[in-house]
Amino acid sequence: MNILLLTTGGTIASQEGGGGLIPAISSQSLLSHVADLNHKHTIHHEEILNMDSSNIQPEEWQLIAGRIYEALPSYDGIIVTHGTDTMAYTASAVSFMLQNLNKSIVFTGSQVPIDNPLTDAKTNLYTAVAAIENGILGVTVAFNRKIINGTRAVKISTLGFNAFESVNSGCMGEVFADGMRVYRTSTSCLDYGRPVQFTPGLCKDVFLLKLLPGTKPEVFDMIVQLGYKGVVMEVFGAGGLHYAHRNLLDKLEMLHKRGIAVAVCSQCTYERCDLSIYDIGQRLLQRKVIPCHDMTTEAAAVKLMWALTKTRDLDKLQEMFDTNFVGEVYLGTCSF
């Protein structure tokens, strides 16, 4: 198989600097640590970034997605090495920007640099290659011998090798002693009669707000003043916020009248945000907030960035959040 390795920096490519680990290992050097893969496949390498993933933002997401799109016709699969801290955001962003993928795009990285004897980088790279070999299509994350849909990956551990969890959706594949077991072969329903859809635009004016009991309503005035066009709000439990003492509901009404989209997800990692259960959830629905169902916060935030480039109409945004594009949300009708 013909595989492209795109490197962007991160821990996997880091070495000790004057103040701690910094990305320093080139794509060629990184590939040399798994040179045995070249005995089975033809692997090309390209360094497109060399950054700590904390600095990888929407501009870099668009750069990565664009390079993947350019390279797709020439390769059977593409591996992107990336820092773990924001990998879930980047994988989600690329998932929305590149849809109807009939090839494997696998993000991976490591908790320990690749030149460290205790590294997990080699296993993660081998797992990424296995995903391509086994024809797992779409954007995925390979980590700790698991293949996770890119829009379902969440980093759950700062130091453990099981750094990523597949939230509210099972893994797409896992590596066991007898090889890889594939549970699903694509992150979405493919239309083989249509080409890959590349929509590189992202709205950068999206704010993520995690509520704290006692959050001041005036926070929303600041969001308006700063020119944000959308907010993803992490609420309590299945869908709660306070309106006693400090009334947040009136501010949500104000945002709606100003045409600012408010998408709501739960602070809980697992299961869905369901605004139909409690009175407070019904009050939120009356303010025309957009339920994110069982989406991860990372996927919800990036989906809003992507959706806002297509429409500012709040009803149409609601329709988009009620649509499963790349396996990011379960609506009771998933068939892949």
Position 141: which residue type? V
Distance CA 278, CA 276 (A): 6
Q: Is 119 a catalytic residue?
A: no
> How buried is 284 (Cβ within 10 angstroms: 0-12 exposed, 13-18 middle, 19+ buried)?
buried
Position 271: which residue type? E
Residue numbers belonging to the annotated binding site: 53, 84-85
Distance CA 249, CA 241 (A): 8
In the chain, which residue ranges form alpha helices assigned H by DSSP?
27-32, 58-71, 87-97, 121-133, 218-225, 249-257, 279-286, 297-307, 314-321
Distance CA 260, CA 130 (A): 43
Structure tokens at 253: 């009404």
> Given CA atoms 55, 24, 4, 116 in this order, what sign does their dihedral have?
negative
Distance CA 332, CA 330 (A): 6
Residues 179, 149, 296, CA angle at the centre, nearest 5°?
Answer: 140
Q: Is 11 a catalytic residue?
A: yes
Residue numbers belonging to the annotated binding site for substrate: 53, 84-85
Distance CA 260, CA 199 (A): 22
Structure tokens at 207: 């704010």
> Looking at 7, 8, 84, 119, which residue is catalytic?
84
Angle between helices 87-97 and 58-71 (to 10 degrees): 50
Q: What is the CB neighbour count within 10 angstroms for residue 192? A: 7
Q: What is the CB neighbour count within 10 angstroms for residue 30? A: 21
> Looking at 11, 81, 86, 108, which residue is catalytic?
11
Distance CA 55, CA 51 (A): 7
Give me the active site residues, please: 11, 84
